């Protein structure tokens, strides 16, 4: 079968490969998910030849994965923005990231060892301003990753469940670090008011469905928002480390502190002591808040 025939094959995998089956197109999608929109930004991040980049962007626009939005008439210049069709490919990027994390970079555990390539990638978020991802919350609303009025403590965790809901995935107790999720969530509940007094909000994020998060929030009496990254928006945009357990992609335990402008000011990874990490974050937020007063 010739490559140009793939898009016409009677197979969803073959059809998809016909559109985004080369490594350059997938890396363009990776950068688009991370908030890059302009040709110069893709060029700096990827280092392709300008001709190759122009061809990849054009093909992705042609297939409805990206759309062009003019930001300059003279000369004509465009932003390249993910369409809903493009956003629906984010789980594919997450799956590729999970495979690379498990087999090439890290070890597939919920918290990697210092020096792992995946943890170096997370540490590289320090000082950057990631895209303002919008996520579904446990109460059916939406929440932004960034808050222009408050610091944001965003902690990413594999999953937490209400015991009476009988929703624990098979073998969940054997997942390394899974038991620490409830402790981490409750520790943030205990420190919530102190964090609020220091000018920060708490946002817990996992890949669970909002209904599962709602059940756990009610069970644990959490005073802060839980949000669902079930579509992989945050994982793709921030290139967070992921693994697979209980039949679903899971976020490894990482905590970010974002200032009101959305810039990452502190990174916790790996998080091997959930309760201790909460106390550390409170100290960091308090010190940051004192410096800005």
Kindly report which listed range (90-104, 211-225, 262-276) carries the lowest average pLDDT score. 90-104
- CATH number assigned to the domain comprising residue 81: 1.10.10.10
Look at residue 129 in the predicted model and tell me its pLDDT: 94
Residue 123: CB atoms within 10 A of its CB come to 12
Q: 155 and 255 in contact (C-beta within 8 Å)?
A: yes
Average pLDDT across the chain, whole number? 86
Indicate the pLDDT class of residue 156, thresholds 50, 70 and 90. Answer: very high
Domain span at residue 25?
A: 3-87
Q: Which of 87, 121, 145 is the last residue of a domain?
A: 87
Cβ burial of 166 (10 Å; 0-12, 13-18, 19+) is exposed
Of 38, 55, 87, the residue at which a domain comes to its end is 87
User: Per-residue pLDDT averaged across 204-219, rounded?
Assistant: 94
- pLDDT greater than 70 at residue 103: no
Q: What per-residue confidence (pLDDT) applies to 144?
A: 97
Whole-number Å distance between alpha carbons of 124 and 10: 42
Per-residue confidence (pLDDT) for residue 206, from 0 to 100:
96
What's the average model confidence in pLDDT over 28-43? Answer: 87
Show Cβ contacts of residue 145 under 8 Å, excluding neighbours closer than 6 positions.
Answer: 130, 131, 132, 133, 134, 135, 152, 154, 203, 234, 258, 262
Whole-number pLDDT of residue 250: 87
143-157, 244-258, 271-285: range with lowest mean pLDDT: 244-258
283 band by pLDDT with thresholds 50, 70 and 90? very high
Q: Cα separation of 156 and 242, whole Å?
A: 10
Please indicate, yes or no, whether residues 202 and 126 belong to a single structural domain of this protein: yes
Owner of token pair 């490969």:
17
> Which residue, chain included where needed, has tokens 């402008």?
261
What's CA 10's distance to the chain center, in Å?
33
Query: How many domains does one find in the chain?
Result: 2
Question: How many angstroms separate the first and last alpha carbons of the chain?
Answer: 65
Given a cut of 70, whether residue 112 has pLDDT beyond it is no
CA 107/CA 41 separation, integer angstroms: 31
**Do 55 and 181 belong to one domain?**
no
Q: Are residues 144 and 232 in the same domain?
A: yes
Q: For 228-249, what is each residue's pLDDT tens digit? A: 999 898 998 898 988 877 677 8
Calpha distance 216→220 (Å, rounded): 6
Find the CATH number of the domain harbouring 221. 3.40.30.10
The more confidently predicted of residues 168 and 145 is: 145
CA gap 51, 276 in Å, rounded:
51
- 219: helix, coil or strand? helix
Res 3: pLDDT: 53
Q: Any residues with CB less than 8 A from the CB of 85 and at least 6 apart, and which?
A: 63, 64, 65
Q: Which of 285, 227, 229 lies closest to 256 in space, CA to CA?
A: 285
Regarding whether 116 and 55 lie in a shared domain, the answer is no
Same domain, 278 and 154: yes
What pLDDT shows up at residue 1?
44
pLDDT tens digit string along 42-72?
A: 998 898 899 999 999 999 999 999 999 998 8
Tell me: pLDDT of 293 over 70: no
How much of the chain exceeds pLDDT 90, in percent?
52
Q: How many CB atoms are located within 10 Å of the residue 93 CB?
A: 21
Residue 94 resides in a domain: no
Is the backbone of residue 160 left (phi > 0), alpha (psi -120 to 50) or beta? beta
Q: Helix, strand or coil for residue 154?
A: strand
Give the whole-angstrom CA distance, residue 219 versus residue 45.
44
Do 175 and 279 lie in one domain? The reply is yes
């Amino acid at each position: 079968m010739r490559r140009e025939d793939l898009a016409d094959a009677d197979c969803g995998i073959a059809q998809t490969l016909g559109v985004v089956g080369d490594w350059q197109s997938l890396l363009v999608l990776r950068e688009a998910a991370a908030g890059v929109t302009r040709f110069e930004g893709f060029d700096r991040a990827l280092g392709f030849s300008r001709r190759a980049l122009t061809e990849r962007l054009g093909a992705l626009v042609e297939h409805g994965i990206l759309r062009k939005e003019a930001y300059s008439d003279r000369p004509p210049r465009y932003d390249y923005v993910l369409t809903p069709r493009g956003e629906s490919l984010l789980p594919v990027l997450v799956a590729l990231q999970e495979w690379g994390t498990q087999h090439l970079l890290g070890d597939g555990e919920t918290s990697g060892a210092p020096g792992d390539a995946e943890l170096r990638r997370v540490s590289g978020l320090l000082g950057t301003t990631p895209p303002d991802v919008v996520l579904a919350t446990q109460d059916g609303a939406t929440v932004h990753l960034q808050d222009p009025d408050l610091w944001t403590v965003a902690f990413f965790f594999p999953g937490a469940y209400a015991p009476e809901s009988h929703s624990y995935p098979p073998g969940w107790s054997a997942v390394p670090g899974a038991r620490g999720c409830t402790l981490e969530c409750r520790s943030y509940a205990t420190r919530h008011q102190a964090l609020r007094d220091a000018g920060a909000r708490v946002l817990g994020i996992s890949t669970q469905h909002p209904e599962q998060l709602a059940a756990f929030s009610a069970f644990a009496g959490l005073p802060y928002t839980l949000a669902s990254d079930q579509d992989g928006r945050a994982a793709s945009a921030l290139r967070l480390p992921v693994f697979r357990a209980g039949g679903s992609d899971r976020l490894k335990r990482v905590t970010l502190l974002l200032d009101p402008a959305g810039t990452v000011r502190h990174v916790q990874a790996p998080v091997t002591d959930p309760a201790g990490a909460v106390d550390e974050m409170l100290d960091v937020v308090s010190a940051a808040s004192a410096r800005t007063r």
